[in-house]
A and B are shown apart, each in its own frame.
Chain A
Amino acid sequence: MSHAHESLHAASDEVGCAIEFARQTLAVAEADIRKLIRDPIELFTRMVQPVLWLLIFGQVFTRTRAIPTGGIRYLDFMTPGILAQSVLFGAIFYGISLIWERDLGIIQKFLVSPAARSSLVLGRAVSSTVRSLCQMVMVYLLAFLLHVQLRFDPWAVAGVAAAVIFGSAVFSTFSLSAACIVKSRERFMGIGQVLTMPLFFASNAIYPLSLMPSWLRAISKVNPLTYQVDALRRLMIVGGGTAFGVRTDLVVMVFVLALLVALATRLYPNIIT
Chain B
Amino acid sequence: MTAPNAVETKSLTRRFSALVAVNHLTFSCAHGSIFGLLGPNGAGKSTLIKMLTTLLPPSQGTAVVAGFDIVRDPRAVRRKIGYVSQMLSADGDLTGYENLLISAKLYGISRAERAARIAHGLEFMDLAHVSGKLVKHYSGGMIRRLEIAQSMLHRPQVLFLDEPTVGLDPIAKQAVWQNIRDLRREFGTTILMTTHDMQEADQLCEMVAFMHEGTLAAVGPPAALKSALGPAASLADVFIQYTGASIAEQGDLRDVARTRITSRRLG
Interface of A toward B, CB cutoff 8 Å: 20, 23-24, 26-28, 30-31, 34-35, 38-39, 103-106, 108-116, 269, 272-273
Contacts and interface: CB of A to CB of B under 8 A. Distances in A.
A31 B150 CA distance: 14
Contacts of B108: 20, 23-24, 114
A109 B83 contact: yes
Contacts of B90: 106
Interface of B: 53-56, 75, 78-79, 81-83, 85-94, 98, 102-103, 105-108, 150
B106 A108 contact: no
The majority secondary structure among interface residues of chain B is loop
Q: Name the 6 nearest CB pairs between A and B, nearest first.
A: A105-B87, A27-B105, A105-B89, A109-B89, A112-B83, A113-B106
Nearest to A123: B106
Nearest to B56: A273
Contacts of A269: 55
B94 A108 contact: no
Contacts of B106: 24, 27-28, 110, 113-115
A39 B55 CA distance: 32
A156 to B, nearest CB: 35
Given A105-B85, A112-B78, A35 B54 contact: no
Contacts of B86: 105
B83 A31 contact: no
A23 B55 contact: no
B85 A108 contact: yes
B85 A35 contact: no
Contact of B102 (A30, A114, A272): A30
Most buried by A among B87, B92, B105, B107: B105
Contacts of A105: 85-89
A26 B55 contact: no
Contacts, number: 74
Contacts of B98: 31, 34
Given A24-B108, A112-B83, A34 B56 contact: no
Contact of B105 (A26, A109, A116): A26
B55 A111 contact: yes
Contacts of B89: 104-106, 108-109
Most buried by B among A20, A23, A39: A23
A31 B55 contact: no
A8 to B, nearest CB: 21
Given A30-B102, A31-B91, A113 B85 contact: no
Given A30-B105, A114-B75, A35 B93 contact: yes
Given A35-B93, A113-B78, A269-B55, A27 B102 contact: yes
A24 B105 contact: yes
Given A30-B102, A104-B87, A112 B53 contact: yes
30 contacts: A23-B105, A23-B108, A24-B105, A27-B102, A28-B102, A28-B106, A31-B91, A31-B94, A31-B98, A31-B102, A34-B94, A38-B93, A103-B87, A104-B87, A104-B89, A104-B92, A105-B87, A108-B55, A108-B89, A109-B83, A109-B85, A109-B89, A112-B54, A112-B78, A112-B81, A113-B106, A114-B107, A115-B106, A116-B75, A273-B56
A191 B150 CA distance: 35
Given A104-B89, A108-B83, A114 B78 contact: yes
Contacts of A106: 89-91
B149 to A, nearest CB: 13
B118 to A, nearest CB: 14
B64 to A, nearest CB: 17
Contact of A114 (B56, B79, B94): B79
Nearest to A116: B75
